[in-house]
Structure 1
Amino acid sequence: MTRALTCSSAIGLVFLATAASADVTPQEVWASWQAMMTSAGQELTVGNTADSGKAVEVTDLAVTYKDQMGGSASIIFDKLSFTDNGDGTVTVAMPESYPMQLAFPAQGDGPGSVKLTVSQPGAVIVAGGSADQTSYKMTAPTMKITLDEVTDQGGKVLDTKGDLALTGLEGGYEVTRTGETMGLDSDFSAKTAVFDLNGSDGSGGSGKISVNFADLKGATKGNFLNPEMMANMALALNSGFTMDTSFSFGAMTLDADITEAQGPTKMTANASGGSFVLAMDKVRMNYGTTLTGAKFTISGAEIPFPQVEVAFADSAFNLLMPVTKSDTPQDFAYLTKVVDFTVSDDVWGLFDPAAMLSREPATFIVDLKGKGFWTKDIMDPEVQMEGATPPGELHSLDLTQVLAKAAGAEVSGTGALTFDNSDTATFGGMPRPDGKVVVNIKGVTKLVDNLIALGLISEDDAMGFRMGLAMVAKPGAGPDELVSEIEFKEGGLFANGMRMQ
């Protein structure tokens, strides 16, 4: 994964520089193009440059990038031209196709090298603005990235082929340069994207996979620094690095067929949409994903029934947290949820053949927020996070929503706590909490009875559970409902007014 991210970053820098380097005159565009590439840590080798005044033509241009782990990426353009349009804009003409090669560090598993061909016939690239603030627009009816060759770490060519094809591409960039900082404001869209991959491992295993996306959209805005500063994220953040990236897609389908020694496996998946966000600055990091209307179906020789189906209406993950050292509390938040989760009856039948348990869709939600701060720069590679002393302080925690609903039972909780970090003795090393959490429980008695009838738990286990529940919960508003008020106050722990500690 590290090698893939490293070389993907290198490719991204190449494309970004190609796209965003433009200026009022062809000469300024070409000069700015070179400056941006070299500032991104890439090396340029130029075969020849011809300047007619109204146009600059560059031939046999090679762009290479090497990372600190031993990986590299290279792209070769046989011809580039920058032509004055006479209206303050410049047209950048790229080859309809060009080769790209990636080499990965020798450590770990994964390929040794990859050769690709990028094709973009009919692409139109127009740039304008000034040397310090460049705007860029691109349209392309199609773009295709073809996997020509993959080798293993020993240099052996693998039987693997694939391609990524996009249609209806549109994009725009605005680039500003201030000293060592490059400001970027960009967006792109594509009507469709199709990824196909197939191959064999040389020992009888083979497989193919196809993924289709519709209505792709993305945007990136931020301030980027030179590679030396970006190598230390703590330094980069404190020096002005910012990034706010979002990506979304509409309908998605996946088909995979894998054949191994034990037999074939087939998986299909579809979803109505999804999204991704990543934002960073010296105050916080926000990372999140969503997937809606998803359904997965899998069948294979090792599955004891024809197929397994899993589906959910909505899923999400989001993490917001501070990223630099501070002495004042900062906001953080955490969300994970799966809504209306279902699994096929064949799976239920393994442990509940008589359908005694409710098979209504299940939902799991944890939604938290609070305040705290780091006492160390956690993004600094030199900082050691291990140790007896925690690297941060927790000051408050709000349970916006905690919900688990499945098999006819439901447990939900809300509440708010504050923490006294000057007292870590009262609760055995953790800062002393103050506040209250209310937990509501429904349907648990019937669920326990059903689990006993199914033989999943014993009467003794159930008795211990019921006794423990009776100590911390009291009857609720309706039948088979319980409520528990957990309160931290005066250095003690109380359940429904009864002191537990």
Structure 2
Amino acid sequence: MIRSLTSSSAICLVFLATGASADVTPQEVWASWQAMATAAGQELTVGNTSDTGSAIEVTDVVIAYKDDLGGSASVSFDALTFTENGDGTVTVGMPESYPIQMAFPKQEDGPGSLKLTVSQPGAKIVAGGSATETSYEITAPATSITLDEVTDEAGTKLDTQAEVALTDMAAKYSVSQNGEGTVLDSSFSSRSMVMKITGKDAEGAGGGTVDVSFADVTGATKGNFLSAELMANMAAALNSGFTMDTSLNFGAMTMTADITDEAGPSKLAATATGGGFVVAMDKTRLNYGSSLNGAKFTVSGADIPFPQVEVAFAESGFNIVMPVSKSDVAQDFSFLTKVVDFTVSEDIWGLFDPAGSLSREPATVIVDLKGMGYWEQDLMDPSLQMEGAQPPGKLESLDLTQVLAKAAGAEVSATGGLTFDNTDLATFGGVPRPDGKITINIKGVNQLVDNLIALGILTDDDAMGFRMGLGMFARPGAGPDELVSEIEFKDGGLFANGMQLQ
């Protein structure tokens, strides 16, 4: 987390340096850019400034940032120019390449420092708008970020090389001031993004190469960003108006990794048809989600007793939306995790089922929940202690939109909903008293148990105990080898298919 914060600060320096605060005249562009850097908690130093009225040139520009944990980042430019175009816009000229340096707080592992070079030959930055709201467009036929040097926590240089390259990048930004905040609305696209990392370990006995490529990369960021002082306490920042909504999506992805260690060489190859992630936050909610579709992974190596192992799935995803601030009014939340049509290669199946007794149909797991609840403390408050027995919030309702587990010929699904009485913690031993019903449908489980007995995975005694327990909670369903269980909470009691258990 510390390293990611420092890295984020360095990225902000890059965007500021590309004219993130442009205005209608060169003087206003340069002045607002300086104000933006200062408001973000960065230190700006300049060698010389030349102003001809229609153009400004500044030389030996350095933007630096330091955090309270000992991390730092800086970006340097030999010269920047701000030139009036005669149509109310300003062209911002930058060097074709410039360096970035980063240092991380001392840790037991991880990098100690990085030196990078950003190259963007042919990049064009045009700024426009007004004195109160800035807009600008960036185009760059080719952009690369090259790792020039990396050290470990002790300051020793590591034998590691890395480069990220983007083609046909285009971006649009709109920036305006909102009191102590800066309102940003931005989007970008790139036809492709390619990353390559190579290196050796400190002893020289192992090393490897990783290549990753993404097609059709797009992203967007909207938000109201505050000063570094306010952002030091996230709970306070949210209450002061901080908002952020960021998304990134990509098309076809490929990855290869060739690694050599003491056990020998190993290789990973992966492909996907697309994916992305979203991070959004304001005073009322936090949303984080990710997805990867049409993915296939192939692994081989000295530790694997087969030529290779293949794993694939049609769709995977994770998404959570929840409140983050203290409240006495229930708010919506949701949770989703899923892996759809998951398969593994026959070599893995053959380890425990060489005769093919179990169904090889793709497996699927989906948990899709939603409900209402609230926090009694600010979740982002750094003083919040989560170790105590008393939960920091209350749950009022929970709905099972979809719960599904399907594998090896068996399927379990559940739907329903519960409400919770937080004033009654005695009926169910400290848990808020639930009311509602959940219906569970089970298919193919008896056949699966028979197959597991035949494979020696289950004993007859284990299977008997399982079936007896299942019989207490389930009744026959509409078809063969189908069971239904209705779990109901009402009047302070627990019922299964109408039979009271508590």
Aligned-partner Cα distance in 1 for 2:28–2:251: 39
Could you tell me how far 1:459 is from its partner in structure 2? Answer: 0.7
1:121 corresponds to: 121
Could you tell me how far 1:231 is from its partner in structure 2? Answer: 1.0
* Contact persistence 1:132–1:178 (CA under 8 A): no
Aligned-partner Cα distance in 1 for 2:357–2:69: 56
1:104-131 CA-to-partner distances (Å, cap 9, x unmatched) read 1112311111111100000000001112
Q: Superposition pairs for residues 267-286 of structure 1, below 5 Å? A: 267-286=268-287
Aligned-partner Cα distance in 2 for 1:166–1:118: 11
1:366 corresponds to: 367
Aligned-partner Cα distance in 2 for 1:128–1:11: 25
Aligned-partner Cα distance in 1 for 2:446–2:286: 43
Could you tell me how far 1:4 is from its partner in structure 2? Answer: 2.6
Q: Superposition pairs for residues 342-381 of structure 1, below 5 Å? A: 342-381=343-382
Q: Superposition pairs for residues 221-300 of structure 1, below 5 Å? A: 221-300=222-301
1:46 corresponds to: 46
Q: Superposition pairs for residues 46-85 of structure 1, below 5 Å? A: 46-85=46-85
Could you tell me how far 1:162 is from its partner in structure 2? Answer: 1.1
Could you tell me how far 1:44 is from its partner in structure 2? Answer: 0.8
Residue 456, structure 1, aligned to residue 463, structure 2: no
Aligned-partner Cα distance in 2 for 1:120–1:95: 8
Of stretches 6-15 and 83-92 in structure 1, the one that deviates more from structure 2 is 6-15
Q: Superposition pairs for residues 95-174 of structure 1, below 5 Å? A: 95-174=95-174
Alignment TM-score, normalising by the size of structure 1: 0.99
Aligned-partner Cα distance in 2 for 1:159–1:15: 26
User: SS of the counterpart of 2:30?
Assistant: helix
Of stretches 9-18 and 446-455 in structure 1, the one that deviates more from structure 2 is 9-18
User: SS of the counterpart of 1:156?
Assistant: coil
Aligned-partner Cα distance in 1 for 2:448–2:389: 42
Could you tell me how far 1:386 is from its partner in structure 2? Answer: 2.3
Residue 21, structure 1, aligned to residue 24, structure 2: no
Residue 436, structure 1, aligned to residue 430, structure 2: no
* Contact persistence 1:13–1:40 (CA under 8 A): no
Aligned-partner Cα distance in 1 for 2:151–2:7: 17
Aligned amino acid, residue 78 of structure 2: D
Could you tell me how far 1:448 is from its partner in structure 2? Answer: 0.1
Aligned-partner Cα distance in 1 for 2:244–2:181: 12
Percent pairwise identity: 69
User: SS of the counterpart of 2:456?
Assistant: coil
Structure 2 alignment gaps of length 5 or more = none
Aligned-partner Cα distance in 2 for 1:397–1:491: 17
Could you tell me how far 1:378 is from its partner in structure 2? Answer: 1.1
Of stretches 145-154 and 435-444 in structure 1, the one that deviates more from structure 2 is 145-154
Aligned amino acid, residue 359 of structure 1: R
Alignment TM-score, normalising by the size of structure 2: 0.99
1:224-282 CA-to-partner distances (Å, cap 9, x unmatched) read 10011111111111111111111100000000000001111100000000011111111
2:319 corresponds to: 318
Aligned amino acid, residue 263 of structure 1: G
2:218 corresponds to: 217
Aligned-partner Cα distance in 1 for 2:13–2:61: 12
User: SS of the counterpart of 1:306?
Assistant: coil
User: SS of the counterpart of 1:162?
Assistant: strand
User: SS of the counterpart of 2:106?
Assistant: coil
Aligned-partner Cα distance in 1 for 2:399–2:15: 41
Could you tell me how far 1:178 is from its partner in structure 2? Answer: 2.3
User: SS of the counterpart of 1:470?
Assistant: helix
Could you tell me how far 1:385 is from its partner in structure 2? Answer: 2.1
2:473 corresponds to: 472
Aligned-partner Cα distance in 2 for 1:344–1:3: 39
* Contact persistence 2:108–2:153 (CA under 8 A): no
Aligned-partner Cα distance in 1 for 2:8–2:92: 23
Aligned amino acid, residue 311 of structure 1: A
1:387 corresponds to: 388
User: SS of the counterpart of 1:346?
Assistant: helix
* Contact persistence 2:14–2:75 (CA under 8 A): no
User: SS of the counterpart of 2:359?
Assistant: coil
1:200 corresponds to: 200
Could you tell me how far 1:15 is from its partner in structure 2? Answer: 2.3
Residue 401, structure 1, aligned to residue 402, structure 2: yes
Of stretches 307-316 and 146-155 in structure 1, the one that deviates more from structure 2 is 146-155
Could you tell me how far 1:180 is from its partner in structure 2? Answer: 1.1
Aligned-partner Cα distance in 2 for 1:278–1:431: 31
1:285-318 CA-to-partner distances (Å, cap 9, x unmatched) read 1110111000000001001111110000000100
Aligned-partner Cα distance in 2 for 1:246–1:10: 18
Could you tell me how far 1:439 is from its partner in structure 2? Answer: 0.2
Aligned-partner Cα distance in 1 for 2:449–2:142: 58
User: SS of the counterpart of 1:20?
Assistant: coil
Aligned-partner Cα distance in 1 for 2:286–2:111: 31
Structure 1 alignment gaps of length 5 or more = none
1:499 corresponds to: 500
Structure 1 residue ranges, 4+ long, deviating more than 3 angstroms after superposition? none
* Contact persistence 1:378–1:385 (CA under 8 A): no
Aligned amino acid, residue 142 of structure 1: A
Aligned-partner Cα distance in 2 for 1:154–1:440: 58
